[in-house]
Amino acid sequence: MTSTEEDYIKAIFSIAQGTANRMVGTNDIAREMDTSAASVSDMLKKLNSKELVIYEKYKGVRLSPNGTERAMFLLRKHRLWESFLVNKLGFAWDEVHDIAEQLEHVKSNELVNKLDAFLGYPKFDPHGDPIPDSNGTITLRNQVLLNTLEIGDEGTLIGVKMHNKDFLAHLNGLDLNIGTSIKVTECFPFDNSLKIMVNGKSEAYVTEIISKNIYLKKTS
């Protein structure tokens, strides 16, 4: 599988959310990958002939069992490298995506498994996303979005839904990181914004777009 094919597999998986393996449209993929629908069409034919996807003209495409396995392995590699970059090399969580995107294309199973061991078999990456283990299975957690909490509720930040660089950098500015404790002190129903207590010492004001993209583990 070429790097480009891998990128398509990843995009299809990502659009289908990993969830139901639902049908995905040509234009969706083109948008996600910033390329033309014509290019996507060509590639889908190719991936179909390699039995990595199930593709019907004009209908859409979804990953085959084989393709899903590949996607999980790519996810594993991506998230392990992100963990390495943040936990070992000292990058910030908003700086690692593009580099991990390159590293994940390096071909060597031995490398991935040794990296996994070196990192201590982490189950979650620096954004709180689950890392598939060497069998492709992932660990799930009880997590709720910040915008579902009510006044007085508390929790610990364990992940983010949006991976946008600007969003992550903004969270840095608010002192919101993995492990940060959060308590909701005020709700403004008008625009669904919140006032929160951060780590028990500073206050922060968060808009709905933010609270809808932060995962917490509720502590009370």
Partner DNA sequence: GTCTATTTTTAGACAAATCTAAAAATTATT
Partner DNA sequence: AATAATTTTTAGATTTGTCTAAAAATAGAC
Q: Which residues bind DNA (CB under 7 A)?
A: 2, 4-5, 25-28, 35-46, 55, 57-58, 60
Among 11, 40, 71, 85, binds its own copies (CB under 8 A): 85
Cα–Cα distance measured from residue 144 to residue 110, given in angstroms and rounded to the nearest whole number = 36
Query: Minimum CB separation from its own copies for residue 145, in Å?
Result: 32
Q: Which does 102 bind (CB under 5 to 8 A by kind): its own copies, DNA, none?
A: its own copies
Cα–Cα distance measured from residue 125 to residue 75, given in angstroms and rounded to the nearest whole number = 11
Q: Which does 5 bind (CB under 5 to 8 A by kind): its own copies, DNA, none?
A: DNA
Cα–Cα distance measured from residue 121 to residue 188, given in angstroms and rounded to the nearest whole number = 41
The amino acid at 203: E
**What DSSP state is assigned to residue 129?**
P
Among 82, 79, 62, smallest CA distance to 15 is for: 62
Among 20, 34, 58, 90, binds its own copies (CB under 8 A): 90
Angle 104-175-210 from CA coordinates, rounded to 5°: 75
Closer residue to DNA, CB minimum distance, 43 or 210? 43
Among 115, 168, 196, 204, binds its own copies (CB under 8 A): 115
Give strand ranges (E) for 41-189.
53-56, 60-63, 144-145, 154-160, 181-188
Query: Minimum CB separation from its own copies for residue 184, in Å?
Result: 37
Interaction with its own copies in 12-71: which residues (CB under 8 A)? none
Query: Minimum CB separation from DNA for residue 34, in Å?
Result: 7
Task: List strands edge to edge, sheet with 214-218.
Answer: 144-145, 214-218, 154-160, 181-188, 193-198, 202-206
Query: Minimum CB separation from its own copies for residue 109, in Å?
Result: 11
Q: Which does 97 bind (CB under 5 to 8 A by kind): its own copies, DNA, none?
A: none
Q: How many CB atoms lie within 10 A of CB 78?
A: 21
Query: Minimum CB separation from DNA for residue 85, in Å?
Result: 25
By CB under 8 A, the count of residues binding its own copies is: 19
* Residue 20 contacts residue 62 (beta carbons within 8 Å): no
CA atoms within 13 A on the CB side of 216: 24
99 binds its own copies, rule: CB under 8 A:
yes
Among 114, 141, 165, 218, binds its own copies (CB under 8 A): 114
Residues within the interface to its own copies (CB under 8 A): 85, 88-91, 95, 98-99, 102-103, 105-108, 110-111, 114-115, 118
